[in-house]
Chain A
């Protein structure tokens, strides 16, 4: 019988590797009877989904964030020009 701690490990690892049949079954069974782990599972799933979404489409979340500062723009331009001159 899995503990919540074991179950949380399997939930996390399911994002990183393929779980074995025994592990999958154990996790599924634990999730059937444990309300807290059902919630934890949803939370971890959401975090994973959210990161993937952000990774695929950062603009979606960042369009209101500040862009490059004027100083940074100038500095980068200077570096680029230096390289062009070389």
Chain B
């Protein structure tokens, strides 16, 4: 324990909040995010010899954290409470998507423009709503969406990992995106209704 680098107190003080917020964005669950930070620092402690010091300490820690987050999501997606493990990850309920189109495949309600939240404050609110809307999706759809869009994982890797076919993943991601779109149409009213959520 010679250098400052190896001090857990230093890590927590300097990077704890940053790592936690980073994990919260991707996991949206306090306990999971805390677990991710803990596992990251434990791994960092074990692997500090591999830290050559040529990268910023934070960058190094975030690199570890990214892997831990994906591991946690994988574990979560495979939890038996979410999915019946005896059955492959299936298309799931599709009432949301079905209810958005009529028999001829047209939108039941015309889509409304959102504008684009360009200011940081608006984007914070947008993120807040996105987080809330993700909670309303079926959990496996939300997790799949998270892996793909917020963790930026390859569709190919996701399919291998979750043992689903590419077609299946496209269908599920489509559902997730439409579910979010619908949720936003209800909860995102643009700039004027800042207090309405």
Mark interface residues in A62-83 (1 if CB within 8 Å of B CB, else 0). 1111011000110111011101
A3 at the A/B interface (Cβ < 8 Å)? Answer: yes
Contacts of A9 in B (CB 8 A): 170, 174
Taking a contact as CB atoms under 8 Å apart, the answer to whether B111 and A68 are in contact is no
Contacts of A59 in B (CB 8 A): 18, 21-22
Bound: A68/B21 CA distance, A: 8
**Contact among B37, B45, B127, B173 for A61, CB-based, below 8 A:** B127
B21: nearest residue on chain A (CB-CB)? A62
**Contact among A40, A50, A52 for B126, CB-based, below 8 A:** A50
Taking a contact as CB atoms under 8 Å apart, the answer to whether A68 and B105 are in contact is no
Given the known inter-chain contacts A3-B105, A8-B174, A65-B24, please indicate yes or no for A51 contacting B34, CB distance below 8 A. Answer: no
Contacts of B106 in A (CB 8 A): 3-5, 36
Taking a contact as CB atoms under 8 Å apart, the answer to whether A8 and B178 are in contact is yes
Given the known inter-chain contacts A16-B173, A54-B25, please indicate yes or no for A47 contacting B12, CB distance below 8 A. Answer: no
Interface of A is mostly: helix
**Contact among A12, A63, A68 for B12, CB-based, below 8 A:** A68
Q: What count of chain A residues pass the 8 Å CB interface test?
A: 47
B17 at the A/B interface (Cβ < 8 Å)? Answer: yes
Interface residues of B (CB under 8 A from A): 1, 8-9, 11-12, 16-18, 20-22, 24-26, 34, 37-38, 41-42, 45-46, 97, 101, 104-107, 110-114, 116, 120, 123-124, 126-127, 130, 148-152, 155, 166, 169-170, 173-174, 177-178, 180-181, 184
Interface residues of A (CB under 8 A from B): 3-6, 8-9, 12-13, 15-17, 35-37, 39-40, 42-44, 46-48, 50-52, 54-55, 58-65, 67-68, 72-73, 75-77, 79-81, 83-84
List 14 A-B pairs, Cβ < 8 Å.
A4-B107, A5-B97, A8-B174, A12-B177, A47-B181, A47-B184, A55-B149, A58-B26, A61-B25, A65-B24, A67-B17, A68-B16, A72-B37, A80-B45
